[in-house]
Amino acid sequence: MTITEAKYDNYSDDGKSFWNGFEKTETSFTSEIRFENDIILSGVEPGEMKLRAVFSSVSGGGPKLLFESASDGKPKSYGYAKYKGITLDIKDMLE
């Protein structure tokens, strides 16, 4: 398994928008793939993304987004992204 994590503390590439929070990805060819983030975007176009997305393994015919309960009692995949007045909820991707 490979884990990649990024933390943002007023990160900006244009001096107009600023990211605060984190992103974390756990990847594996033989087990579930997990992406988590909690990011607030401030500045010209404010927004936020707070979600966890868990996919089935690539080797198991996946990846497929998983929603069953996780060990923490929450769905494996949950959360939302909000930008320019539009909110998208990951549960709307439930098949």
* pLDDT tens by residue, 23-52: 999 998 888 999 999 999 999 999 999 999
How far is 3 from 86, CA to CA, in rounded Å? 30
Instruction: Show me where the domains of the chain are located.
Output: 2-90
Structure token pair of residue 32: 């579930």
Q: Report the pLDDT averaged over residues 5-20.
A: 97
The pTM assigned to this predicted structure is 0.86
Q: Quote the pLDDT of residue 60.
A: 66
Q: What is the pLDDT of residues 58-81, one digit of tens each?
A: 776 768 999 999 999 999 999 999
Q: Quote the pLDDT of residue 33.
A: 93
What residues contact residue 60 under an 8 Å CB cut-off, 6+ apart?
A: none
> Are residues 68 and 75 in contact, defined by beta-carbon separation less than 8 angstroms?
yes
